[in-house]
Amino acid sequence: MLHGSRQLSLLFLPWEIALLLAGNREAALAGAFLVGLGLGAEVDLIPYLASRYFGLRDFGKVYSSLFAAFALAGAVGPLVMGAGFDRTGSYSRPLVGFFVAILLATVLMTRLGPYRFRPRESKDDYLKHKVAQELRIQREDQCL
């Protein structure tokens, strides 16, 4: 079974390749839309994946480190694009570099494996489990 991180990685990979190969205005608009969608998803996925892979004991430290890396990358990315354009007169090289980074990130996401920590049970799930357990005990007592 594919875990959430693997499913998301494999979901976006074909679209990344298709947009790279298309290279027209429609592809640029679709790419901008997907980047916006991806940024919104990243902001939600960072705490979710952090809680599943690192647990909740040091969640604040882990999440703040991951979000700081996310914010730093968001700040450095435009600088790299600008420097690449200034040196080469084109955005091609920085975009290829970012594409390689995305492929590397995709491969790394597929290697995360199963979640190390499960979400806590809600009170409703806990009560259902307790009631089912009590009913099972009562039935066993009646059979004896």
Question: Once rounded to an integer, what is the mean pLDDT over residues 5-29?
Answer: 69
* pLDDT in the model for residue 69: 93
* pLDDT in the model for residue 67: 93
CA distances from 140 to 129, 131, 132, 135, 143 (A): 17, 14, 12, 9, 5
**pLDDT (tens digit per residue) in 65-122:** 999 998 999 899 999 999 999 999 998 899 899 989 988 988 888 888 888 877 766 6
Tokens of 88: 């080469």
Looking at the structure of the chain, the number of domains it has is 1
The least confident of 16-25, 59-68, 129-138 is 16-25
8, pLDDT greater than 80: no
Helix axes 25-54, 4-22, angle to 10 degrees: 160
Q: At 111, which amino acid appears?
A: R
- Asked whether the beta carbons of 99 and 16 are under 8 A apart, the reply is yes
Question: Once rounded to an integer, what is the mean pLDDT over residues 2-8?
Answer: 59
Tokens of 12: 């976006």
* pLDDT in the model for residue 97: 93
Domain span including residue 90: 4-143
